[in-house]
Amino acid sequence: MAGIGFELKKMFDKKEILSTLKAYGYAGAVCIGPTILGILLLLGIGVLAEVGGATGSQKEQINSMVTYTLLISMLITNIFGLVVTRYTADQLYMKKQDKIMPSFFGSVAIILGLGGILYGIFLAVSGVSLERQVLCVIVFGELVVVWTQMNYLTAIKDYKGILFAFLAAILGSFAIGYLLVLLRVEIVLAMLGTVCIAYGIMMVWYHVLLVRYFPRRKGSAFEFVEWFKVYPELMGIGTALTIGLFGHLVIMWSSPIKKHIIGLFYSAPSYDIPAFLAFISILITTVNFVASVEVRFYPKYFIYFSLFNDGGTLLDIEQAQKEMVTTLIQELSYTFAKQFFTTVVFIVAGSIFLPYLPIGMNEDMLGIYRVLCIGYAFYAVGNVTMLIQLYFSDTKGALISTTAFMVVSCLATWSMRTMSTRFYGVGFLLGAIVFAGVALFLLFRYLDQIVYHILCKQPLTGQKKQGIVTRIRKKQVTRKLYE
């Protein structure tokens, strides 16, 4: 993330309104572009479906299939996401840019192979038509590529290209979607095709940008797999975070308010709609983290660790540590304050205006919405804190934080799913509170002992970690020698 941080700092240093807006726009396109695209697509295809005369059942099928595809692609990709990100960061630090694209192709191949088989099996027995299965698989593949591309895009300085890709995906898909409606294509297929075109445009444009920035290719496409042995916790962090974030939605699809859509597709509209609206409230924190914490905190972080490598005195190190921690606390405080202010605005504005929108919001749904707004605010605090833990390579602390979030959120939601609607969303809220509390506690405990972690906790001699396959192979060789 330091790559985008340095570039955005140049824009913020100009202290002009236009430059500031441009910086936030670029940060948003890089960090939450696909998420915003997903939100706009769900809203846009709803409008197009209405224009095309879709029935209520058809609209539910469209939303359900798109939602399932989004969630499954995120879960599969996030198993590998943090490991790939760490590998990419290490190669950039070692100035081995020629190894970047091979790792991209290798990770995409593994994720598509594994995820495609699992999702394909689900679709084959899901009870939907073959045409819809094919379109869902195509969208799934595009999403896997786009989510993976996001791990590499922060190293690219062509933010205009990234922003244009986002805009082209929106405008191009809606134009073609409207054309499909005019041509009287079956409405569910037309809307799934619109989603396919949108992410297809974004995927192709992003790939052109990546190839342009990383033109040389050298080395094995699967070298990044070794990083699973070096940082085994990263896979667990990505998985736990995704399950914790979206698990409560899936659990509610088995609650008394569930609604059978078609085949194996279920939803819970009276929970999903409030969750969708509440989730939007945290996007500002994602952008603010990059545009504020990254820009102002990273230089202090860089100076502090440079002193250990460049012969800094103990006095210099202590002063740099003090400045780094002070800056971190300030930026985290600003970020959290902005998030909670945004949450209050969303709760108040939502309570006033949402009942007037044609989305069927009733008092029970408004109650769920308010609870989930608070829950997502605590999640944002926990997520930002966890990212800072990863900055300091405290992967064990981050794993504990995300695992606690996943366990509490899912178990609490499961235990409350058959209770009164007053308790809906409370499970996720409890998990998010635990996430924020544990992450903050572990982060500041780590910072109190940071010199110990840097200088004393490292092994005295180099240790090469071995994976399961290597250990099994060595045991087989040893057994044969004894025989």
Say what the pLDDT of residue 1 is.
44
The pair of three-digit structure tokens given for residue 222, joined into one six-digit string: 């699967």
Residue 435 near residue 385 (C-beta atoms within 8 A): no
Mean pLDDT, to the nearest integer, of 91-108? 86
Dmax of the chain from CA atoms? 79
Cα–Cα distance, 393 to 342 (Å, whole number)? 30
For the CA atoms of 334, 339, 340, 345, what is the dihedral angle to 10 degrees?
130
Whole-model pTM?
0.85
- Which residues does 247 contact at the CB level (< 8 Å), separation at least 6? 406, 409, 410, 413
Q: Which residue has the higher pLDDT, 482 or 171?
A: 171
Mean pLDDT comparison of 139-143, 289-293, 470-474, highest-scoring range: 139-143
* Of 73-77, 122-126, 248-252, 460-464, minimum mean pLDDT range: 460-464
Say what the pLDDT of residue 212 is.
85
- 391, containing H or E segment: helix 363-391
Q: For residue 149, give the nearest of 117, 192, 104 by alpha carbon.
A: 104
Say what the pLDDT of residue 239 is.
93
The pair of three-digit structure tokens given for residue 317, joined into one six-digit string: 């190190």
Instruction: Check pLDDT > 90 for residue 121.
Output: yes
* Chain position carrying tokens 């509390």: 437
* Of 31-35, 47-51, 83-87, 464-468, minimum mean pLDDT range: 464-468
Q: For residue 309, give the nearest of 323, 320, 324 by alpha carbon.
A: 320
Say what the pLDDT of residue 372 is.
96
Expressed in percent and rounded to 5, the helix, strand and coil fractions of the chain are 85, 0, 15
Say what the pLDDT of residue 47 is.
84
Cβ burial of 392 (10 Å; 0-12, 13-18, 19+) is: middle
Q: Which residue has the higher pLDDT, 212 or 396?
A: 396
Cα–Cα distance, 425 to 418 (Å, whole number)? 12
Cα–Cα distance, 402 to 421 (Å, whole number)? 27
Residues forming beta bridges with residue 260, ordered by sequence position? 266
Say what the pLDDT of residue 15 is.
57
Q: What is the pLDDT of residues 371-402, one digit of tens each?
A: 999 999 999 999 999 989 988 889 999 999 99
Say what the pLDDT of residue 9 is.
55
Confidence at 417, pLDDT banded by 50, 70, 90: very high
Say what the pLDDT of residue 63 is.
87
Q: What is the pLDDT of residues 133-145, one digit of tens each?
A: 999 999 999 999 9
Residue 149 near residue 206 (C-beta atoms within 8 A): yes
Say what the pLDDT of residue 310 is.
77
Say what the pLDDT of residue 79 is.
87
Question: How many CA atoms are closer than 13 Å to the CA of 344, on its beta-carbon side?
Answer: 5
Judging by DSSP bridges, how do beta strands 265-267 and 259-262 pair with one another? antiparallel
Determine the length of the chain. 483
Specify the 3-state DSSP secondary structure of 262.
strand
- 267, containing H or E segment: strand 265-267
Say what the pLDDT of residue 68 is.
92
Q: What is the pLDDT of residues 330-376, one digit of tens each?
A: 888 988 898 999 999 999 999 999 998 877 788 999 999 999 999 99
Q: What is the pLDDT of residues 229-253, one digit of tens each?
A: 888 899 999 999 999 999 999 999 9
* Of 168-182, 252-266, 298-312, 459-473, minimum mean pLDDT range: 459-473
Confidence at 27, pLDDT banded by 50, 70, 90: low
Say what the pLDDT of residue 86 is.
86
Say what the pLDDT of residue 361 is.
86
Mean pLDDT across the chain: 84
Confidence at 479, pLDDT banded by 50, 70, 90: low
